[in-house]
Copies of this chain bind each other. A is one copy, B any other.
Amino acid sequence: MNIYKNPKRETWSELTKRPVFKKQEIAQTIKEIFAEVEKNGDEALIRYAEKFDSAKIDQLQVTEKEISKAADLISEELKSAIQIAKENITKFHASQVVETEKIETTKGVICWRENRAIEKVGIYIPGGTAPLFSTVLMLAIPAQLAGCQEIILCTPPDKNGNVNPAILYTAQLCGVSKIFKVGGAQAVAAMTFGTETIPNVYKIFGPGNQFVVAAKDFAQEFGIAIDMPAGPSEVLVIADEKAVPEFCAADLLSQAEHGSDSQVIFISTDLKVLNETINEVKKQIKELPRNEFAQKSLNNSHFILLNSIDEALEFSNLYAPEHLILAVENFEKYISQIQNAGSVFLGNYSCESAGDYASGTNHTLPTNGFAKNYSGVSLDSFVKKITFQNLSKEGLQNLGKTIEIMAEAEGLSAHKNAVSIRLK
C-alpha cells in the first residue's frame, strides 16, 4: 500500500500510470499459433488442448448431451440467480435500441441510419481460477438482442476435457449457437480463420490472459473487429466523510481479488475515513480465500488524501478508471464532472459487484486508461449502423449546384459529372 497525503499535482501523472505490458515477448508465439491453426485447423486445436490445457479431447464442439447434463449439475438457487441477472441485463440492454429517425436535410433529401446485427460473433470465456459465467451473460445477451445470427463461444476444457457446467448452462440459456472446447490464443485464431468445426466470425469479444489479449490484437490484422483493447481490471473509489470504511474496504478487496495485477486506488477527502479504510482492508483480507492475489494487488495500490471531491474527480478523470465508485453523500451534483470512466457506482449501496453480476449494466469495460477513448460493451457493440439516403429528382435539383461546386473545388470532375448528367 502506498499512502499519499495531498500529493502535488505534478506527481498525479505518475500516480495514474499503469504497469507496462511486455507485448513483444509473446508476439512470436502468437504468430506461430495463428499460422498453425490456419494451416492445420481442428488437428492443431486438439494438439494445443493437450499441450496447454492437459486435456485429451477428440471432439471440439460441446455436445447437446453435455449441455443438458450441465443443467443438472447446477443448483436451483444458482439457476434462479442467473435468471434474475439475465432479466436485468436484458432490460437495460434492450433500452439501448434506438429508433431510426428520418431527417430531411434539404427538401427532397432524406437521410437516416439503420442498425444491422454483426452476423457472426465469437465470445471467449477464460478457464482458470474463476468460471466466468457472468461474462457469458454480459456478452451473449446483447448479441442475441442485437440479432446476431451466429453466436459462438470458445472456452478451454479442464484436465478431464470438460467445460464448467455454469458456463454451459448460461450459454445455452442466452442463445449461444455453438460452444467449443478451445482456449487461449488458439481459440482466437480459430475464430479468425475458421476450422473444419469452428466457424470464423467477424468480431471477437471477451476477457483473457495476456496470450488471449495479444491474440485479439493480432486478429485485427486479419480484418477481425474486437470489443476493445484490454488491461488488468481496476477500481477507483472516492469517499467523503460520510462514506463507510467497511464498505469501501470490501469494494477495494473485491477488485484486488481478481488477480495480482489488479489496480486499486482509494481517494478520500477525510483522513479518518482514509485511515479506517486502510485498517478495514487489513482486517478483511485475512478472511479471503484468494488473499494471495489480493495482497499482491494491494502492494501496488494507492491510498490518497485530497482536499475536495472536485479535486478527487480531477484525479479520477486523469486516471480514467474502469470502475469508479462515488461513495459520496451528494453524488448527484458530481455526475456531470465525470469525464472518463467505464462504469460508475453511486452512493454507499452501489457496490461494484452489483454491476459485475446483476444490476443490468455491462461488466465488459475499458481498462488501462482506455475509458478516455472507448466505451464499454453495449448493444452498440453488436451492430453496425448503416446510413441511407434518398434524393428525389427535386432533392438533387435543390442540392446539385452545391455538390458540383464542392467537387470541382476538390478537382474531382467525375464526382461533379454524376450530378450534372442527372440535372441535364
The interface of chain A, by Cβ under 8 A from chain B, is 23, 77-78, 81-82, 84-85, 87-88, 91-92, 95-96, 98, 101, 103, 105-106, 109, 111, 113-114, 116, 118-119, 129-134, 166, 202-203, 220-221, 223-225, 229, 246-247, 250-251, 253-254, 256-258, 284, 287-290, 294, 331, 335, 338-362, 366, 368-376, 378, 380, 383-393, 395-396, 399, 401-403, 405-407, 409-419, 421-422
Which residue among A98, A203, A339 has the maximum number of chain B CB atoms within 10 Å of its CB?
A339
A383 — which chain B residues lie within 8 A by C-beta?
375
Q: Are B385 and A417 in contact (CB under 8 A)?
A: no
Does B373 lie within 8 Å of A417, measured CB to CB?
Answer: no
Contacts A/B (CB < 8 Å), 14 sampled: A81-B401, A81-B409, A119-B339, A131-B409, A132-B410, A166-B409, A250-B418, A347-B390, A350-B391, A357-B402, A359-B389, A359-B399, A361-B387, A373-B384
A253 to chain B, nearest CB (A): 4
Which residue on chain B has the smallest CB distance to residue A106?
Answer: B88
Q: How far is the CB of A159 from chain B (nearest CB, A)?
A: 17
Q: Which residues of B contact A415 (CB under 8 A)?
A: 254, 257, 352-353, 356-357
Contact B368 A412 (CB under 8 A): no
Q: Smallest Cβ distance from A19 to chain B, in angstroms?
A: 13
Q: Give the chain B neighbours of A412 by CB distance below 8 A.
A: 130, 254, 257-258, 290, 353
| Cα A63 to Cα B254 with chains together (Å) | 52
How far apart are the CA atoms of A359 and B396 in the complex, in Å?
A: 9
Highest count of chain B CB atoms <10 Å: which of A133, A203, A340, A361? A361
> In the assembly, what is the distance between CA of A384 and CA of B373, in Å?
6
